[in-house]
Amino acid sequence: MAALVLASASPRRLELLTRVGVEVEVLPAAIDETPQLAERPSACALRLASEKAAATAGRAPGRWVLAADTVVEVDGIMLGKPDDSASAAAMLAQLSGRTHRVVTGYAIRGPDGTSTARAVTTEVDFRELAGDEIDGYVASGEWRGKAGGYAAQGIAAAFVSAVRGSFTNVIGLPLAEVLIDLERTGAVRADLARGVPA
């Protein structure tokens, strides 16, 4: 049994953690991810991560739980996951030639119910996108299930002209910060967090 439970179905988060040697068991949380009225991006991401951690902890008593939620914000407007191809195209058009922010909130919940939470923000610049580029990207389907309607680690890497802050945050988990907190809280041993066999 893995020491850490990941309260997320995101294959990107799972890959990031396993790549650095953190063994996890995936047990996604199903919660309402609707932002609250006038909720700021960081507050929304932190609240949702904490709710996911609490929901999964109830199904995995006595275990360490890591949960995360990522939102994209531009001009004070939060962009969630597109519902369909039209909303994906609209989001990409909104991001074209602009700087936006990717905010990931994460929560680490201990076996005793104590919790550590943090929000990490990364600024991302998109170059100007032509209409046929947006249409082609939407047709690829890569946008499905992605906050802001794109995957920076995939085809959409061609749209990104600059990143300020954690790149893994844009993928869905600020790995450096998460590992620091996992070690500090005792959720994983330092040697495991660095991918070194115990």
Q: Cα(67)–Cα(28) distance, rounded to whole angstroms?
A: 9
Q: Would strands 160-164 and 24-26 be described as parallel, antiparallel, or unpaired? A: unpaired
Catalytic residue among 69, 75, 84, 112: 69
Tell me whether residue 69 is one of the annotated catalytic residues. Answer: yes
CB count in 10 Å sphere of residue 32: 6
Phi first, then psi: what are they for 30, rounded to 5°?
-105, 105
The pairs formed by 84-87 with CB atoms below 8 angstroms and a separation of 24 or more are: 85/138, 85/139, 87/149
Q: Cα(105)–Cα(138) distance, rounded to whole angstroms?
A: 27
Q: Is 51 helix (H, G, I), strand (E, B) or coil?
A: helix
* Non-local CB neighbours of 187 within 8 Å, separated by 6+ positions: 3, 4, 64, 66, 108, 110, 181
Residues recognised as catalytic = 69
